[in-house]
Structure 1
Amino acid sequence: MDRPTLDELLEAVAEFLEGEILPALTDPRLRFQTLVALNALGIARRELALGEVLLREEREALGKLLGAQGEVRELLASLAGLIRQGHAPPGTLGYLKDHVARKLKVANPKYLERYP
């Protein structure tokens, strides 16, 4: 495998921003934007690490709930249509809780730690 890996590059940028740039910033707007950039890098790293597994879990869970196979986007659209029509399949609430948890594993895993 070629080095540095994508994750290593993202980590290096985050470490530079956090260790060198952030402490030197006095402008609150630039400090905030740097924190946003650090958060975005964290999301990108988690997506890189977990994305394929979470997508597979999502596809399997939707397939089981709907009794159908397909792309996640299409299956989600089907589920949304059923919900709008008032025909949510049994197990929809549990699926939606797990769906949100999968999203939070990438977007903000600390939220899952605080509110299990």
Structure 2
Amino acid sequence: MDRPTLDEILEAVGEFLEREVLPGIQDPRLRFQTLVALNALAIARREVALGPALREEDHRELRDLLGMAGDREDLLRALAQRIRDGEAPSGTQAFLKAHVRRKLLLASPRYLERYP
């Protein structure tokens, strides 16, 4: 495996910003932007670590729910159309709850701790 890995690079940049840059920032606007950058790096690290498996889980559940093949984005559009048409398949609510949970695992896992 090549080193450093993408995750290691993202971690190093985050640590640099948090330990070396952030403590010296006096400008509130620049401090906020640096915190936003740190959050974006954390999301990127979770995406690298968890994204492919979570998307595959989503895709598999969508195929089962809709009983059809297709790529994940097309299946999500098909489900949305069925919901708009008032023809949501049985199990839609459970799928959507799991779908949102998977998205939160990437974007903001702390919400899952507060709202299990």
After TM superposition, the score normalised by the length of structure 1 is 0.98
What is the CA–CA distance in structure 2 between the aligned matches of 1:84 and 1:29, rounded to whole Å? 42
Q: Which amino acid aligns with 1:25?
A: I
Contiguous gaps of at least 5 residues in structure 1: none
AA aligned opposite 1:26: Q
Amino acid at match of 1:27: D
* 2:29 paired residue number: 29
Supply the AA of the counterpart residue of 2:9: L
Give 4+ residue runs of structure 1 displaced > 2 Å after superposition: none
RMSD, matched Cα:
0.5
Relative to the length of structure 2, the TM-score reads 0.98
In structure 2, the residue corresponding to 1:90 is in which secondary structure? coil
Matched residues, percent identical?
A: 65
Secondary structure in 1 aligned to 2:57?
helix
User: Any idea what the Cα deviations from partners look like across 1:67-105, whole Å, max 9, x if unmatched?
Assistant: 011110000000000001010001111100000000000
Q: How does 1:54-65 map to 2 (within 5 A)?
A: 54-65=54-65
Match of 1:9 in 2: 9
